[in-house]
């Protein structure tokens, strides 16, 4: 009998305890990897721009391409994992991630770096969709809130270390060094999984895969990113051609899913489960509001104000430090008192933090640190309870799908956050400014650069505040009795 099967029976077995701790260790490394890799690459954008003499429009594709596979493929990969084995797919992801990161270190051009960032994103999608599912499977009735809290803490530890470690590495070894640190961690997760997950492959569900639905969904996301990117560069002159395509693909996706015997997304899970639906929507809103913070403030601090990468990293670390502190606590509190109020309170604090960033003078670094600290506390209170709501409302046979759906909401939010933020910045600055921003000139000496950039940044902060307050409301929309 495995440790999964007897987890709810009293046991003093050292092997059981060690196996569960090993599993948490493995998935925590994985939870650390994805936010660290995407955030550290985003943090390195200014230095990459200087190295390749790239402009703003080219560089924005780095964070977009590493994020794109996550929302695009996570639901499909969740289904594939339910069918072919979560552990197997998890291990494939760790190996793909490691090899892509090593190859990206040697990338000779920006195009090669973009392609390898995309492959890193595919590996991260395999890892992320299975980490949460495996934790939920292993800690089904006892300790799940705490285990998910530890995983959430690892996510925020990755976010914490990204600007701090990224700033140090870039300052001492150059921007390529931020890629090389990912490979050993990914390989370590693979090696530990050979022990920690050896008895976990117990539940495999034989279902057909909805390839048509998967392709339609990917095309739908591509059309959204294309719309935002084209609008960012050329304005709204081409929107009349893309918006009908987005609408058509969404309708087609719903049509395909309703007729499929084994849909990519179980529509009934959304229609009949208010907790599942509301918690996923709130996760989407949360990441749309928050994720672009690193992208926007990295450019603001390093390029506009001329602060070194190392000091910029120390400033930005204020937000994720509080995420790390509050995530395990909120996981325990959610398990004892429920998730609804905690998650909503977290979103309210996030909205208040964005209002601070909108109102306060951001030339004063103390104001930035204070606002990001409040944002980190709110995020720490929100994440674990919201994850617990999603996974706790899903039936056991749908854990992979539920995890993939939640991951899709998160990473779609991240993807949209970066593209929307770049759209705000592009709308506030002239094309000439954006083309010359990373050309090597000291733009921080220009008052116009500051004024126009700040206009876009402030608009993004106000937008994020509104989105966060909406999320505080949707977080309260749970099933009756919850």
| Most confident by average pLDDT, 1-10, 374-383, 427-436 | 374-383
Flag whether pLDDT at 475 surpasses 80: yes
User: SS3 for 223?
Assistant: helix
According to DSSP H, which parts of 174-210 are helical? 177-180, 182-196
Angle between helices 447-474 and 274-290 (to 10 degrees): 170
Neighbours of 177 (CB within 10 A): 18
- Average pLDDT (405-433) is 80
pLDDT per position as a tens digit, 144-168? 667 777 776 787 778 777 887 888 8
- Average pLDDT (114-124) is 91
Segment among 7-21, 57-71, 146-160, 417-431 with least mean pLDDT: 7-21
DSSP secondary structure, 336-348, as one string = HH-SHHHHHHHHH
Higher pLDDT, residue 431 or 127 = 127
Flag whether pLDDT at 13 surpasses 50: no
H or E, element range at 3? none
Q: Do residues 32 and 155 make contact, with C-beta atoms less than 8 angstroms apart?
A: yes
Flag whether pLDDT at 463 surpasses 50: yes
Higher pLDDT, residue 394 or 418 = 418
Percent of the residues in the chain that have a pLDDT greater than 70, as a whole number? 82
- Average pLDDT (331-353) is 85
Q: Which residues of 231-268 are buried (b: 16+ CB within 10 A; e: fewer)?
A: bbeeeeeeeeebeebbeebeebbeebbeebeebbbbee
Neighbours of 50 (CB within 10 A): 15
Q: Which residues of 107-140 are buried (b: 16+ CB within 10 A; e: fewer)?
A: beebeebbbbbbbbbbbbbbbbbbbbbbbbbbbe
Report residue 170's pLDDT band, with 50, 70 and 90 as the boundaries: confident
What's the chain's average pLDDT?
A: 80
Give the pLDDT score at 4: 46
Neighbours of 339 (CB within 10 A): 28
Chain centroid offset of residue 116 CA: 18
**What are the Cα distances from residue 228, in Å, to 233, 234, 294, 422?**
9, 10, 19, 9
Q: Which tokens hold the place of 451?
A: 């004024």
Report residue 298's pLDDT band, with 50, 70 and 90 as the boundaries: confident
d(CA 463, CA 424) in angstroms, rounded, equals 10
Give the pLDDT score at 7: 45
d(CA 375, CA 250) in angstroms, rounded, equals 33
d(CA 59, CA 155) in angstroms, rounded, equals 24
On whether the 14-209+262-474 domain is CATH 3.40.50.1820, my answer is no
Q: Do residues 476 and 340 make contact, with C-beta atoms less than 8 angstroms apart?
A: yes
Neighbours of 98 (CB within 10 A): 22
Q: Which tokens hold the place of 386?
A: 């919201």
Report residue 257's pLDDT band, with 50, 70 and 90 as the boundaries: confident
Higher pLDDT, residue 141 or 373 = 373
pLDDT per position as a tens digit, 285-296? 999 999 888 888
Which of 131, 147, 109, 113 has its CA nearest to residue 37? 113
pLDDT per position as a tens digit, 438-454? 654 545 446 777 788 88
d(CA 296, CA 277) in angstroms, rounded, equals 30
Delimit the domains of the chain by residue range: 14-209+262-474, 210-261
Higher pLDDT, residue 241 or 189 = 189
| Most confident by average pLDDT, 47-56, 357-366, 388-397 | 357-366
Give the pLDDT score at 458: 94
Report residue 31's pLDDT band, with 50, 70 and 90 as the boundaries: confident
Task: For residue 317, give the DSSP letter.
Answer: T
Report residue 77's pLDDT band, with 50, 70 and 90 as the boundaries: confident
- Average pLDDT (127-141) is 74
5 φ/ψ angles, rounded to the nearest 5 degrees:
-75, -30
């Amino acid at each position: 009998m495995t440790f999964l099967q007897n987890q709810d029976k009293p046991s003093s077995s050292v092997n059981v305890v060690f196996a569960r701790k090993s599993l948490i260790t493995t998935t925590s490394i994985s939870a650390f990897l994805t936010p660290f890799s995407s955030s550290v690459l985003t943090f390195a954008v200014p230095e990459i721009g200087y190295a390749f003499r790239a402009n703003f429009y080219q560089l924005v594709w780095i964070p977009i391409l590493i994020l794109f596979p996550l929302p695009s493929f996570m639901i499909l990969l969740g289904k594939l994992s339910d069918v072919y084995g979560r552990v197997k797919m998890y291990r494939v992801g760790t190996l793909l991630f490691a090899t892509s990161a090593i190859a990206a270190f040697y990338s000779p051009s920006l195009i090669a770096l973009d392609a390898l960032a995309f492959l890193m994103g595919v590996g991260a999608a395999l890892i992320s969709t299975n980490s949460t599912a495996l934790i939920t499977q292993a800690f089904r009735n006892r300790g799940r809130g705490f285990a998910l809290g530890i995983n959430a803490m690892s996510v925020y530890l990755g976010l914490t270390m990204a600007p701090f470690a990224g700033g140090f590495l870039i300052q001492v070894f150059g921007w390529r060094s931020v890629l090389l640190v990912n490979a050993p961690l990914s390989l370590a997760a693979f090696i530990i999984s050979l022990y920690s997950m050896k008895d976990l492959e117990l539940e495999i569900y034989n279902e057909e895969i909805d390839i048509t639905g998967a392709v339609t969904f990917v095309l739908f996301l591509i059309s959204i990113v294309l719309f935002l990117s084209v609008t960012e560069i050329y304005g709204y002159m081409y929107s009349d051609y893309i918006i009908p395509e987005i609408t058509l693909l969404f309708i087609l996706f719903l049509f395909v899913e309703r007729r499929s015997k084994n849909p990519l997304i179980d529509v009934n899970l959304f229609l009949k489960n208010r907790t599942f639906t509301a918690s996923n929507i709130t996760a989407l809103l949360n990441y749309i509001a928050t994720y672009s913070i690193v992208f926007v403030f990295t450019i603001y601090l390093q390029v506009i104000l001329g602060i070194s990468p190392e000091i910029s990293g120390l400033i930005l670390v204020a937000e994720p430090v509080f995420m790390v502190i509050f995530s395990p606590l909120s996981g325990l509190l959610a398990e004892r008192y429920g998730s609804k109020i905690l998650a909503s309170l977290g979103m309210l604090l996030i909205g208040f933090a964005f209002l601070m960033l909108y109102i306060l003078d951001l030339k004063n670094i103390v104001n930035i640190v204070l606002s990001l600290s409040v944002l980190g506390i709110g995020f720490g209170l929100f994440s674990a309870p919201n994850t617990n709501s999603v996974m706790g409302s899903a039936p056991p046979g749908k854990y992979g799908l539920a995890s993939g759906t939640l991951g899709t909401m998160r990473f779609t939010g991240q993807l949209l956050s970066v593209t929307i933020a770049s759209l705000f910045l592009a709308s506030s600055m002239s094309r000439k400014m954006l083309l010359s921003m990373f050309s090597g000139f000291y733009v921080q000496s220009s008052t116009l650069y500051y004024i126009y950039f700040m206009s876009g940044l402030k608009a993004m902060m106000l937008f994020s505040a509104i989105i966060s307050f909406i999320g505080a409301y949707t977080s309260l929309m749970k099933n009756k009795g919850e």
